[in-house]
């Protein structure tokens, strides 16, 4: 979909012809805005190269045919055309939605101006502003997230200092008061500890530093988590481990990986309450996506799956399970999964889950860098 070939510079005698006929055509062709001329019957009389791009159709196909073959008839563009024709003045719309089976554009700026010709034609100029809008939206979201993080970090710091004083004073009183009053002082101490725990959770979110990565054996990290689980929160559950021993090591942060798996196994233990928890590792081969010439290799990944036979994730939470403070547990804080999501992201991984009564499965996919897969074989 390229424009017409640019003619060579003409001889002096043809200069007037060149300026009046060729130059305007070249100008229209070179404009970045899509230009379309439509006559009184709605037939397309002229299209430039940008219009071919925007409408995703060649001019040979559309010239002499109705514009409504590409843009649906109920699109506000047609009332704008009518308005311009009747009022004999230019009209515009800064954010038009074109929503049809052939074409979907969300933010199109449109200007329509009547032409002084016997066919009652109008000239339409259109530009797709979708990308600008998306970029502005993402920029605003990232800025908002950053300012919330900075404020959370500052607040967390400011709360912890006076709280340490309150806790210390309560502890001092606890040793001096009568048993009945000491219980109240203990309550202050315990609640202070709980607030510190909450604030620490928030502080982790405020921490934007990239983790220090090294070569980690994922099975060693998982083994550690399962040992810990068996002697504490998963004492009553049956915890099974099925590992693929051929998996290569990955680049990660051992402490953070342990935190990820610990949170997931703890949730599984709390959900299945004495039921069965299964931890498995497997290999996810890389695959190709994209068009024939744009084939693009996805990184190969290790999949760590933690399943349980509990009642499943409550339906009300399914949509925002990874948001902070989302919990169904009486004493829950709802900070486990958001933290897991953040730490998985820091490892350039992905977390997914599937849940129905009796079968809930959280899967963490962690990329293996190419150099490691080469070393690791297969």
Residue ranges in contact with Mg ion by CB under 5 A: 267, 336
Are residues 55 and 70 in contact, defined by beta-carbon separation less than 8 angstroms? yes
CB of 231 to ligand ADP, least distance (A): 20
The span from the CA of 362 to the CA of 378, in Å, is 26
> What distance lies between CA 9 and its chain's CA centroid?
51
**Taking CB under 6 A as the rule, does residue 327 contact ligand ADP?**
yes
CB of 341 to Mg ion, least distance (A): 12
The span from the CA of 237 to the CA of 325, in Å, is 26
CB of 225 to ligand ADP, least distance (A): 15
Nearer to Mg ion (CB atom), residue 336 or residue 349: 336
Question: How many residues belong to the site for ligand ADP (CB under 6 A)?
Answer: 22
Nearer to Mg ion (CB atom), residue 259 or residue 309: 259
The span from the CA of 65 to the CA of 45, in Å, is 8
Nearer to ligand ADP (CB atom), residue 33 or residue 278: 278
Look at residue 288 and give the partner it binds from ligand ADP, Mg ion, none, a contact being a CB closer than 5 to 8 Å depending on partner kind. Answer: none
**Taking CB under 6 A as the rule, does residue 363 contact ligand ADP?**
no
Look at residue 334 and give the partner it binds from Mg ion, ligand ADP, none, a contact being a CB closer than 5 to 8 Å depending on partner kind. Answer: ligand ADP
Residues 115-121: contacts with CB under 8 Å, at least 24 apart: 115/37, 119/39, 119/40, 119/45, 120/39, 120/40, 120/85, 121/37, 121/38, 121/39, 121/40, 121/45
CA atoms within 13 A on the CB side of 285: 4
CB of 322 to ligand ADP, least distance (A): 8
Residue of 28, 47, 262, 268 interacting with ligand ADP (CB under 6 A): 268
Residue of 80, 170, 218, 271 interacting with ligand ADP (CB under 6 A): 271
The span from the CA of 264 to the CA of 347, in Å, is 16
Task: Quote the tokens at residue 347.
Answer: 């490892």
Nearer to Mg ion (CB atom), residue 48 or residue 267: 267
Question: Using CB under 6 A, which residues numbered 281 to 320 contact ligand ADP?
Answer: 308, 310, 312-314, 317
CB of 347 to ligand ADP, least distance (A): 18
The span from the CA of 360 to the CA of 373, in Å, is 30
* Nearest alpha-carbon partner for 269 in 241, 307, 242: 307
Look at residue 62 and give the partner it binds from Mg ion, ligand ADP, none, a contact being a CB closer than 5 to 8 Å depending on partner kind. Answer: none
Chain positions contacting ligand ADP, by CB under 6 A? 263, 267-268, 271, 308, 310, 312-314, 317, 321, 326-329, 332-337, 360
């Amino acid at each position: 979909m390229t424009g017409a070939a640019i003619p060579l510079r003409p001889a002096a005698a043809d200069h007037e012809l060149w300026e009046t006929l060729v130059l305007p055509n070249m100008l229209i062709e070179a404009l970045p805005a899509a230009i379309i001329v439509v006559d009184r019957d709605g037939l397309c009389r002229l299209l430039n190269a940008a219009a071919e791009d925007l409408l995703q159709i060649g001019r040979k196909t559309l010239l002499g045919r109705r514009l409504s073959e590409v843009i649906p008839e109920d699109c506000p563009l047609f009332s704008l055309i009518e308005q311009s024709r009747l009022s004999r003045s230019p009209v515009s719309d800064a954010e038009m939605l074109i929503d049809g089976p052939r074409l979907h554009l969300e933010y199109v700026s449109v200007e329509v101006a009547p032409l002084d010709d016997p066919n009652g034609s109008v000239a339409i100029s259109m530009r797709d502003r979708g990308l600008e809008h998306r970029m502005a939206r993402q920029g605003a979201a990232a800025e908002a997230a950053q300012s919330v993080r900075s404020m959370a970090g500052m607040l967390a710091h400011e709360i912890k200092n006076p709280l340490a004083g309150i806790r210390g004073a309560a502890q001092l009183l606890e040793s001096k008061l009568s048993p009945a009053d000491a219980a109240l002082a203990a309550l202050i101490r315990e609640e202070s500890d709980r607030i510190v725990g909450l604030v620490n959770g928030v502080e982790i979110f405020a921490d934007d530093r990239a983790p220090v990565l090294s070569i980690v054996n994922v099975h060693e990290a998982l083994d550690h988590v399962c040992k810990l689980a068996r002697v504490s929160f998963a004492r009553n559950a049956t915890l099974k481990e099925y590992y693929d021993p051929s998996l290569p090591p990955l680049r990660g942060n051992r402490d953070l990986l342990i935190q990820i798996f610990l949170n997931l196994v703890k949730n599984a233990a709390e959900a299945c309450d004495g039921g069965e928890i299964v931890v498995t590792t497997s290999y996810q081969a890389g695959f190709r996506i994209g068009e024939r010439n744009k084939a693009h290799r996805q990184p190969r990944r290790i999949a760590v799956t933690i399943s349980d036979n509990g009642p499943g994730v409550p339906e009300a939470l399914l949509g925002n399970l990874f948001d902070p403070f989302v919990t169904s547990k009486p004493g829950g804080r709802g900070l486990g999964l958001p933290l897991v999501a953040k730490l998985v992201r820091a490892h350039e991984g992905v977390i997914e889950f599937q849940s129905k009564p009796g079968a809930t499965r959280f899967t963490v996919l962690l990329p293996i860098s190419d150099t490691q897969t080469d070393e690791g074989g297969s």
